[in-house]
């Protein structure tokens, strides 16, 4: 998995070249760093265009290569009376752009607001006729565009014509001409300057109603043969709107029209949205609520604002193939139209530069990045350190040969299928990216990771705020012999619901983009491609009526039309509660439907994914039931066994079945290996057992039998990356909008330190792999020069945003270099230990070792020969165990870098 290096400023050659290991000289300005991706624009006012606001002019000239007129070309300014134009301010604006070699945008030709009062009415104030308005519109556009023909390169032709619900805005233009005024405006603009680019511009473009209406309108203009070059998405944002996902959905929808996309009028309010009616009776209280930060933003608000602005800038860079311009709506906070509105004295902080014309922290991260160079990262297991866990394998010889767990580490919810001699297996991946690890075997014993199914951001847009135990649950992989395609269906919990992807060959690593199935509710969908060419989806969801008890769930079925990629017909509930509803069975989930020798078998997990987890099975003569519990249930569980049994495997369930070419059957399922008092750090792992058939039903393990695991395998040092790219097992925390690393020709990984830290529920600069044994060693070499105390680079052991350990190089409060070890649990700093360094620069070596008692020891060395210095006391893994932290994942070990870019 080798990802193109698109780190914000590193790739743009601000300080580190993508093709060289040496620093290169470059002017760190926005237009130099981002100008090869899109135009970097700003709206300027008349004082700035005239050169009187010298501080703002310096910023504009230095950082921007495109300008747009803020107000001087709006109707009420440039055409104040029927027979009089005033071009004085517009001429100054255009001359400023030409003198500075900028791409000039005219804003705007047709807008219902700031419209000259005379434009649409007669001398008596009544609407003019359609013919008169057409003539006025044509004359207005021809005169203005014609004056600046060849000088202004692009025009916002029509502004804000669509309402949020998708209807046309009831402006004077619409009242008189209907929707015809829009194509007329584009026609007249093209006539006036056939070479100028023409745009439609609107706000709230993340709203589905407006999005769909704009797409229809643009397609209609194109069908009429009219020119429209780009759609302007006004970027007026707030701290709580829009979401990255909503904005990206609209961006891609607009790009699908064939028009380019421009981010226009970008600003983000840092103030809370206030209900005007809340304190309106108390004028003083109301105005105070609207102006909560009259002096400066609190750090907490500033940090949130910068994080969101950074995420959106990264989104724009990610889609620079379709975005041609990003324009800030003002130079500095002092210039914003949001100041003094809706009450005098209101002080806003929405723009890229502050009132002192200094770049905000998210811009400093682009302009002056800090880079951590990691020389290598290896992960290994020494078998001589293993605890005595394989001495008494209590199952069959076959079971011992399976080397359980077959997939050690956090690889839960396995699903398996076979085609010929090839077996394919997939697992849940939650909020980590890439998603859904996929494995291949020809003997059920030796498994090779092929990579990931969801290996493109377009397949897995998991962005800000998604909890680590959200994301991808319980994928199901099946082969459809009727069209030769493999299907994977899964649930994006908190992220879109149920969807499927397809491929003709899993070994190619090129699965389709998702097809979502909004009509399929709940979680854990699974496919059956039946012998007669029909197909079905089974899934977990709520019962038909009101749940009768906590954990009351049901299994549903509906037909799937694989020829058209959609469901058909109505869904039907086929399991209500579980095997015996009178016993209040909980959390029936993870269903798989099989058609074996004329009988339909429905297998599902019951009891929740904890110690009471089990697997149960039902039969029917029809896929739509009725389904009856088999005579022997459960067919797999470890509940009820002595808690003090040696080397326990717990929580087993969520199974899937596969038949070998010889007619033998096996089951894969999840299990947990607790090490002490129920604590585990590896999460749910994949186990496998042979299946026996008794009384015409499969049995994975007779109830009361004990599952054990083997531990007689070592792991030679495995790199997390090589010069050819990341290892197949490597992953990130959530989906990076832009990757923040580069692997140079020497195999060194250069990571741009992100202002996003591990506890912010975003996408930190971190790469890792799963810990898959209690005893292990992870080691790396690091070259990093911290500049402020919160700059930090090193090793992490990460369970989730609230529970993790970090060990690395930073500065102490006095600005002196130190190796620092910190542990966090439930969002609180639990412990801290440091060891001073003699110099800020220079290479250091770091390692973490897990021992037989499941404690983690952190050491560093300044010598490649490894004269190790331990920092702090060994850390108990209990701190980041599932029992302590909660959730469904194991522990990620890897590298990470964060930077403090505040002034």
CB of 872 closer than 8 Å to CB of 743: no
Q: Which two tokens stand for residue 530?
A: 């039946």
Dihedral Cα 495, 498, 504, 505, nearest 10 deg: 60
Question: Dihedral sign, CA of 45, 46, 51, 55?
Answer: negative
- The SS3 of residue 220 is helix
- State the Cα–Cα distance between residues 668 and 336, nearest whole angstrom: 60
- DSSP string for residues in 431-468: TEESEEEEEEESSSS--EEEEEEE-SGGG----TT--T
Peptide bond into 434 cis (omega under 30): yes
Of 70, 160, 348, 559, the active-site residue reads: 160
Does the CA dihedral 483-488-494-495 come out positive or negative? negative
* Interatomic CA distance for residues 156 and 869, integer angstroms: 63
Q: How would you classify residue 801: left for phi > 0, otherwise alpha for psi between -120 and 50, otherwise beta?
A: alpha
Q: Which of 70, 265, 685, 750 is catalytic?
A: 265
**Sign of the torsion angle spanned by Cα atoms 204, 210, 212, 214:** negative
d(CA 34, CA 30): 6
Q: What is the dihedral of CA 471, 472, 473, 474, to 10 degrees?
A: 180
Whether 265 sits among the annotated catalytic residues: the reply is yes
Residue with tokens 């005379």: 118
CA diameter of the chain: 100
Residue 617 and residue 361: Cα distance in Å, rounded?
57
Half-sphere exposure of 705 toward its Cβ, with a 13 Å CA cutoff? Answer: 15
Instruction: Give the CA count within 13 Å in the CB-facing half-sphere of 380.
Output: 12
Identify the helix (H) or strand (E) that includes residue 254: helix 244-255
**Can you give the length of the chain in residues?**
903
Q: Measured between alpha carbons, how far is 388 from 646 in angstroms, rounded to an integer? A: 10
Residue 678 bridge partners (DSSP): none
Beta-carbon contacts of 658 under 8 Å, excluding residues fewer than 6 positions away, are 416, 417, 418, 423, 665, 666, 667, 668
Task: List residues with catalytic annotation.
Answer: 160, 265
């Amino acid at each position: 998995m080798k990802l193109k290096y698109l780190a914000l400023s590193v790739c743009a050659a601000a300080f580190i070249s993508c093709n060289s290991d040496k620093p290169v000289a470059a002017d760190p300005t926005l237009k130099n760093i981002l100008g090869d991706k899109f135009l970097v624009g700003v709206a300027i006012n008349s004082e700035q265009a005239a050169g009187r606001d010298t501080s703002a002019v310096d910023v504009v000239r230095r950082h921007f290569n495109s300008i747009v007129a803020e107000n001087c070309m709006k109707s009420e300014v440039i055409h104040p009376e029927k027979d009089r134009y005033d071009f004085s301010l517009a001429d100054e604006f255009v001359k400023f752009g030409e003198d500075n070699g900028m791409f000039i945008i005219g804003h705007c030709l047709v807008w219902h607001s700031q419209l000259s009062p005379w434009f649409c009415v007669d001398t008596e104030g009544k609407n003019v006729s359609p013919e008169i308005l057409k003539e006025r519109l044509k004359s207005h556009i021809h005169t203005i565009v014609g004056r600046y023909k060849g000088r202004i390169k692009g025009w916002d032709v029509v502004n804000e014509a669509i309402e949020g619900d998708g209807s046309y805005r009831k402006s004077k233009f619409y009242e008189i001409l209907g929707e015809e005024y829009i194509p007329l405006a584009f026609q007249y603009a093209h006539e006036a300057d056939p070479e100028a680019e023409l745009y439609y511009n609107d706000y709230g473009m993340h709203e589905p109603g407006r999005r769909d209406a704009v797409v229809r309108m643009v397609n209609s203009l194109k069908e009429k043969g009219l020119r429209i070059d780009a759609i302007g998405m006004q970027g007026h944002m707030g701290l709580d709107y829009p979401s990255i996902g909503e904005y990206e959905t609209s961006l891609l929808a607009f790009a699908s029209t064939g028009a380019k996309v421009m981010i226009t009028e970008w600003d983000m309010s840092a103030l809370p949205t206030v209900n005007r009616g809340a304190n309106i009776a108390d004028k003083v209280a109301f105005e105070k609520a609207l102006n909560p930060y009259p002096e400066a933003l609190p750090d907490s608000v500033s940090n949130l604002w910068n994080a969101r602005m950074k995420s959106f800038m990264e989104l724009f860079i990610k889609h620079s193939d379709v975005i041609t311009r990003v324009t800030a709506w003002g130079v500095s906070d002092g210039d914003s139209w949001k100041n003094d509105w809706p009450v005098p004295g209101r002080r806003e902080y929405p723009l890229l530069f502050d009132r002192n014309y200094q770049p905000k922290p998210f811009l400093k991260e682009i302009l002056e990045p800090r880079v951590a160079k990691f020389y290598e990262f290896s992960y290994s297991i020494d078998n001589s350190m293993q605890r005595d866990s394989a001495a008494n394998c209590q199952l069959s010889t076959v079971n011992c040969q399976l080397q359980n767990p077959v997939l050690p580490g956090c690889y839960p919810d396995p699903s398996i299928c076979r085609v010929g001699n090839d077996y394919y297996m997939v697992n849940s991946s939650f909020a980590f990216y890439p998603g859904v690890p996929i494995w291949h075997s020809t003997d059920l014993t030796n498994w090779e990771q092929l990579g990931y199914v969801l290996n493109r951001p377009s397949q897995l847009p998991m962005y800000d705020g998604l909890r680590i135990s959200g994301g991808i649950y319980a994928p199901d992989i099946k082969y459809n012999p009727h069209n030769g395609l493999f299907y994977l269906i899964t649930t994006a919990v908190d992220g879109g619901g149920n969807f499927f992807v397809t491929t003709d060959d899993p070994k190619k690593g090129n699965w389709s983009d998702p097809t979502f199935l909004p009509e399929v509710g709940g979680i854990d969908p699974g496919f059956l491609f039946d012998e007669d060419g029909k197909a079905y989806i089974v899934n977990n969801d709520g019962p038909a009526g009101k749940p009768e008890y906590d954990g009351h769930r049901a299994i549903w079925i509906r037909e799937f039309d694989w020829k058209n990629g959609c469901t058909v017909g109505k869904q039907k509930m086929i399991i209500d509660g579980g095997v015996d509803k009178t016993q209040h069975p909980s959390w029936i989930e993870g269903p798989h439907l099989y058609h074996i020798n004329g009988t339909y078998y429905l297998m599902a997990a019951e009891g929740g994914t904890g110690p009471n987890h089990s697997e149960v099975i039902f039969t029917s003569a029809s896929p739509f039931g009725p389904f009856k519990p088999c005579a022997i249930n459960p067919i797999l569980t470890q509940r009820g066994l002595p808690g003090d049994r040696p080397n326990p495997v717990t929580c087993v369930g969520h199974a899937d079945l596969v038949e070998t070419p010889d007619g033998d059957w096996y089951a894969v399922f999840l299990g947990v290996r607790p090490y002490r008092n129920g604590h585990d750090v590896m999460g749910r792992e994949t186990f496998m057992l042979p299946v026996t058939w008794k009384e015409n039903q499969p049995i994975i393990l007779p109830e009361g039998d004990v599952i054990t695991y083997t531990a007689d395998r070592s792991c030679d040092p495995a790199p997390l990356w090589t010069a050819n790219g990341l290892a197949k097992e490597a992953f990130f925390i959530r989906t990076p909008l832009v990757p923040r690393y580069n692997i140079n020709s020497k195999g060194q990984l250069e990571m741009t330190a992100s202002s996003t830290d591990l506890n912010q529920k975003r996408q930190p600069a971190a790469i890792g792999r799963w810990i898959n044994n209690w005893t292990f060693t992870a080691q790396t070499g690091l070259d990093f020069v911290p500049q402020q105390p919160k700059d930090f680079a090193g090793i992490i052991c990460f369970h989730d945003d609230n529970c993790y350990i970090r060990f690395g190089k930073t500065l102490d409060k006095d600005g002196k270099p130190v190796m620092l070890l910190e542990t966090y649990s439930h969002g609180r700093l639990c412990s801290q230990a440091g060891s001073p360094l003699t110099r800020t620069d220079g290479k250091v070596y770091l390692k973490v070792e897990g021992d037989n008692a499941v404690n983690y020891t952190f050491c560093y060395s300044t010598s490649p020969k490894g004269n190790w210095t331990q920092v702090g006391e060994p850390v108990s893994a209990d701190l980041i165990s599932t029992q302590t932290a909660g959730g469904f994942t194991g522990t990620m070990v890897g590298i990470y870098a964060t930077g403090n870019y505040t002034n």
